[in-house]
Chain A
Amino acid sequence: MIAAERKPFEQIKLVTDQFENILVVGCNTCVAVCLTGGEKEAEQLAAELRLQRRNDGIGGSVETVTVLRQCENEFVDSIAADVEGKDLVLSMACSIGPQLIAERHPAVRVAPAMNTNMLAVVQKHHVWSEYCVACGDCGIFNTGGICPIARCAKQLLNGPCGGSQGGHCEISAEVPCVWQLIYEKLATFGLEGNLSRIGGPKNWSKSNSGGPRTMKKEGFEP
C-alpha cells in the first residue's frame, strides 16, 4: 500500500487558519489501511480542527466526507456537493488526493494534510516498512526476492557495502542490511555464488527519474 502519515498539526493549521469553511476529505483505501487518513482519521482531524479554531476564535465550519479512493475521477467528482461553498479542501489521501481534487474541483483551494512516505508492508500493527520505490523495472528475482533499491540505503546492486555489520546497515542499527538478507536468502537455495556476478547498472529510465510516467492498457478502450 501507499503509506502516508498526517502532517504535524502546526503545519496544517498554518494553512487552515487562513480559511473559513473547510472540508476534510478522507480516503478509504491506502491511507485508511495504514490507519492515518481514512474516515475515522478524517473525523478525528476535523474534530481537532474545530476545537482549535474555537479556541483561537476562528469562525467558519469544518466538515468531513470520505471517498473510497481519491485517485479516481469518479469518486472525487462525487463530492461536488460537499465541496460547494467551501474555501479549502484538506485532503487526507496520499498526495494524489489533493492533486486530483484540485484538478476536478478547480474553484476551490486544496491542501494536503498528509505526507506520502512510501510503498510499504505492514510489518506489524502500526509499523510499516518500505519495500518498493516503484522503479518500473523489477529485478528482485536476482536478489532473492528482496529489493535492494527500496531497502538498501545506497540502492546498491552489488552489496553489501563495507558498512554492513552484524546484519545491520551502517546508517542505523535499526535498519537491517538488505544485502545481508539477500545473501542469506540466496544461500538458502545454494545460490550465494550468483552474487559474484556484477549487478546493474540500473535502468532508471523506467523510474520517475526517466520523467513522469503514464501507464496504458491498449485495446480495451470503451
Chain B
Amino acid sequence: MRSGSILEKVLADGKFAVTAELGPPKGADPQVIIDKANILKGHVDAVNITDNQTAIARMCSMAAAKIAIDQGLEPIMQMTCRDRNRLAMQADILGAAALGIKNLLCLTGDHQSFGNHPEALGVFDLDSITLIKMVKDMRDVPQFQCGEEITFAPKLLIGAAANPYADPFPFRAVRLAKKVEAGIDFCQTQIIYNLEKFEEFMRQCVELGVTERCKILAGVAPLKSAGMAKYMKNRVAGMDVPDEVVERMAAAEDAQSEGIDVCVEVINRVRDIEGVAGVHIMAVEWESAVPEILSRAGLRAGSGS
C-alpha cells in the first residue's frame, strides 16, 4: 500500500469508489465542517477538501481535512499551485501526512482573477504536473524537490483532476497520461454531462494504458436549476452541458429533483464505461443531495456494486 487510505484500498480491490466534495467555510468555525462531514459520513469512501476553491479565501484544506478525520471521514486534501511556492507546498505535504491525511489531489488552481482577491500575486511556482512529480518523489524516493533526502516519507495517495472537455480534445488523454507518468494513482474528472465525448476520452485513456496505472473517477454534479445549467454551459470554462440537459432542466417542474435524476442517469451511464473506477460527486454547497443521489444510483461507500 502506498498510503494505506481507504480510497486506495477500495480502488485496489476493484470496487466502485465514491467520493464527494466538502468546501471549507469562509470563517474559522469548525462546526461547519463537522456538520457537512456528518451528512456525508458513511455514504462516500473519501471526500475532497477544497483548497481556496475558485480563488476564494477560505479555511485551509489541511485544517479542514484534519477536522474531517476527527469526524471519521477520510479526506482527499486538495492542493493548488496558485497560492504557494514549492517550499510551502512541501511543508504542507509533510504536515498533512503527519496529521494523518492520506490522499492528496494535486491541482494547478483557478486563476486568482476569478476569486475575491483578484489583485493577489499568482504564485504558480509549480504546475499540477510538476507538483505531482514532487509529491511522488517525496513519497517514493524519498526526497525533496531539490534532491535532498527525506528521512520520514509522507505516505499519500496521489490524485489529480482531468477535464475531457478542454481543448485541444486529442491532447486531453495524453495530458492525463503525463500526470500518470508524473505519478498519480487516481484522478477525478470534470463534471460529465456530455457522455459521448467522455466515452471517447475514456476510449483514448484505455488505449494509452492510462486506466491500467490510474483509477479514473468520473465527475458528476446535480444541477439545481435551469439557470445553473445555462450558467455552467455558457460561463464556466471547460464545461460541456448539452442542450438537451439544459432543456430538460428548463422543462422540469421540480428542477432539483430533475437535476438529481440527470445526475443519477449520468452515474449509471459512466459505470458501464471501460476504465471508470468510481464517481466523484460535486454537490457544491448542496452536500445534502449526495446521499439521495447515491441511494437512487444504488451506490454506497465501498459498495462496489
Contacts and interface: CB of A to CB of B under 8 A. Distances in A.
* Complex contact flag A–B (Cβ < 8 Å): yes
B120 A204 contact: yes
A202 B121 contact: yes
A210 interface: yes
A73 to B, nearest CB: 26
Contacts of A203: 119
A123 B112 CA distance: 36
Contact of A211 (B113, B119, B120, B121): B113
A201 interface: yes
Given A204-B120, A211-B113, 13 more contacts: A202-B119, A204-B119, A204-B121, A204-B122, A205-B112, A205-B113, A205-B118, A205-B120, A209-B112, A209-B121, A209-B122, A210-B118, A211-B111
A205 B111 contact: no
Contacts of B112: 205, 209
Contacts of A209: 112, 121-122
20 contacts: A201-B119, A202-B119, A202-B121, A204-B119, A204-B120, A204-B121, A204-B122, A205-B112, A205-B113, A205-B118, A205-B119, A205-B120, A207-B121, A209-B112, A209-B121, A209-B122, A210-B113, A210-B118, A211-B111, A211-B113
B48 to A, nearest CB: 26
Return the 7 tightest CB-CB contacts between A and B, nearest first. Answer: A204-B121, A203-B119, A209-B122, A205-B119, A205-B118, A209-B121, A204-B119
Interface in B197-227: none
B125 to A, nearest CB: 12
Contacts, number: 21
B175 to A, nearest CB: 21
A210 B121 CA distance: 8
Interface in B87-127: 111-113, 118-122
Interface residues of A, number: 9
Interface of A: 201-205, 207, 209-211
A202 to B, nearest CB: 7
Interface residues of B, number: 8
Contacts of A210: 113, 118
Question: A interface, by DSSP: helix, strand, loop or mixed?
Answer: loop
Interface of B: 111-113, 118-122
A130 B111 CA distance: 28
A203 B122 CA distance: 11
Contacts of B120: 204-205
A106 B147 CA distance: 40
A209 B111 CA distance: 9
Nearest to A208: B122
A202 B118 CA distance: 11
Nearest to A155: B121
Contacts of A207: 121
Contacts of B119: 201-205
A153 to B, nearest CB: 14
Most central of B112, B113, B118, B121 by chain A CB within 10 Å: B121
Most central of A202, A207, A209 by chain B CB within 10 Å: A209
A154 B118 CA distance: 21
B305 to A, nearest CB: 46
Contacts of A201: 119
Nearest to A204: B121
Nearest to B118: A205
Contacts of B118: 205, 210
A85 B112 CA distance: 45
A205 B122 CA distance: 9
Nearest to B122: A209
A204 B122 CA distance: 8
A97 B118 CA distance: 31
Contacts of B122: 204, 209
Contacts of B121: 202, 204, 207, 209
Most central of A202, A205, A211 by chain B CB within 10 Å: A205
A211 B118 CA distance: 11
Contacts of A204: 119-122
Contacts of A205: 112-113, 118-120
B123 to A, nearest CB: 9
B32 to A, nearest CB: 28
A201 B120 CA distance: 8
A167 to B, nearest CB: 27
Most central of A201, A207, A210 by chain B CB within 10 Å: A210
Contacts of A202: 119, 121
Contacts of A211: 111, 113
A203 B121 CA distance: 8
Most central of B113, B118, B119, B120 by chain A CB within 10 Å: B119
A208 to B, nearest CB: 9
B68 to A, nearest CB: 31
Nearest to A137: B119
